[in-house]
Amino acid sequence: MPAEYLSVAEGEGLVPAIDNLLLFRCAQIVRRLATQDRKVGVFCNVSLTSLGDETFFPKFLEFLSENRDLKDALIFELGQAVFDARGAVEARNMAKLADLGFRFSIDKVQTLDLDFTDLQRSDVKFVKISADLLIEQLLDQDAGAALPSLRDIQAADFAGLVRRYGMEVIAEKVETERQVVDVLELDIAMGQGHLFGEPRAIKEAVLAESDAPSDFVRDTLQSAERRRRFA
In a shared domain, residues 95 and 114: no
> Which residue(s) pair with 45 in the sheet?
77
Total domain count, the chain: 2
- CB-CB neighbours of 136 under 10 Å: 14
- Tens of pLDDT, residue by residue over 33-74, are 777 766 778 899 898 988 998 888 898 899 999 999 999 899
Q: Which residues pair with 169 in a beta bridge?
A: 127
| Average pLDDT of every residue of the chain | 83
Residues 219, 164: one domain? no
- Whether residue 231 is contained in a domain is answered as no
Q: How confident is the model at residue 184 (pLDDT cuts 50, 70, 90)?
A: very high
What is the span of the domain harbouring residue 153? Answer: 109-192
Specify if 10 maps to a domain: yes
183 with 119, same domain?
yes
Q: Are residues 99 and 119 in the same domain?
A: no
99 and 116 in one domain?
A: no
Instruction: Answer yes or no: are the C-beta atoms of 180 and 209 closer than 8 Å.
Output: no
Residue 200 CA to residue 209 CA, distance in Å, equals 18
- Provide the pLDDT confidence category of residue 85 given band limits of 50, 70 and 90: very high
Same domain, 18 and 96: yes
The pTM is what?
Answer: 0.81
| Parallel/antiparallel/unpaired status of strands 103-107 and 42-45 | unpaired
CATH code of 15's domain: 3.20.20.450
* Domain annotation covers residue 230: no
Please compute the mean of the pLDDT values over residues 216-228 and round it to a whole number.
55
Is residue 97 domain-shared with residue 31, that is, in the same domain? yes
CA distances from 109 to 35, 106, 114, 183 (A): 33, 7, 9, 16
CA–CA separation, 186 and 157 (whole Å): 8
Q: Which residues contact 78 (CB under 8 A, 6 or more apart)?
A: 45, 46, 48, 86, 104, 105, 106, 107
Q: Are residues 218 and 177 in the same domain?
A: no
What are the CA-CA distances from residue 10 to residues 5, 152, 181, 228 (Å)? Answer: 9, 43, 41, 11
Average pLDDT (105-125) is: 93
Q: Are residues 98 and 122 in the same domain?
A: no
- Residue 98 inside a domain? The answer is yes
- Percent pLDDT > 70 in the chain is 80
In a domain, 197, yes or no: no
Residue 136 placed within a domain:
yes
130 in any annotated domain? yes
State the Cα–Cα distance between residues 112 and 115, nearest whole angstrom. Answer: 9
